[in-house]
Amino acid sequence: MGRYARKKQHKGDKPLKEKYRTKRKTKDHDQIHEDMKPDKAQKLLNQEIDYDRPGAGQFYCIHCAKYCINEQALKEHFRGKPHKRRIKALQVEPYTQAEADRAAGMGSYIAPKSVDVQTQDNKMQEDIG
């Protein structure tokens, strides 16, 4: 193997591109925690009809920030692995600026608290509306 061939064995910046890709970027966990607050959740679950969104914007998963085309698709989404992974990830308290300051040496470490996150019910959606 020559010198030129040895140089070409590296991956280059492809892993960095994949890490920071934004084509399928979803909301971060702290943004979803903001959406899960009762007043904002009520607005998201009872949106006005918007024909530009799947299902006219009527079938929305707050935890995944995802629109479904109908109620059956939403129920299947709730049973799926990506939704369950997102629920598990949301059970940790979101990262805050105060925590970043403590990590930088401006205070004592406090372990993140656990947050009780339940999958939204369609009954909850009907009760609010």
- The Cα-based distances of 15 to 5, 11, 19, 59, 100 in angstroms read 20, 8, 6, 35, 26
In order along its 129 residues, the chain shows pLDDT tens digits of 566 555 556 567 777 777 777 777 888 888 999 999 989 999 999 989 999 999 998 999 999 999 999 999 999 999 999 999 999 999 988 888 888 888 888 878 777 788 888 888 754 444 444
Q: Which residue matches tokens 């009872």?
A: 46
Residue 32 belongs to a domain: yes
Q: 3-state SS string over 9-55?
A: CCCCCHHHHHHCCCCCCCCCHHHHHHHCCHHHHHHHHCCCCCCCCHH
Report the domain count for the chain: 1
Residue 16 belongs to a domain: no
Tokens of 84: 């369950």
Residue 100 belongs to a domain: no
Tally of CA atoms within 13 A in the half-sphere of 99 that contains its CB = 8
Does pTM surpass 0.85?
Answer: no
Tokens of 5: 């061939």
CATH number of 66's domain? 3.30.160
Residue 69 belongs to a domain: yes
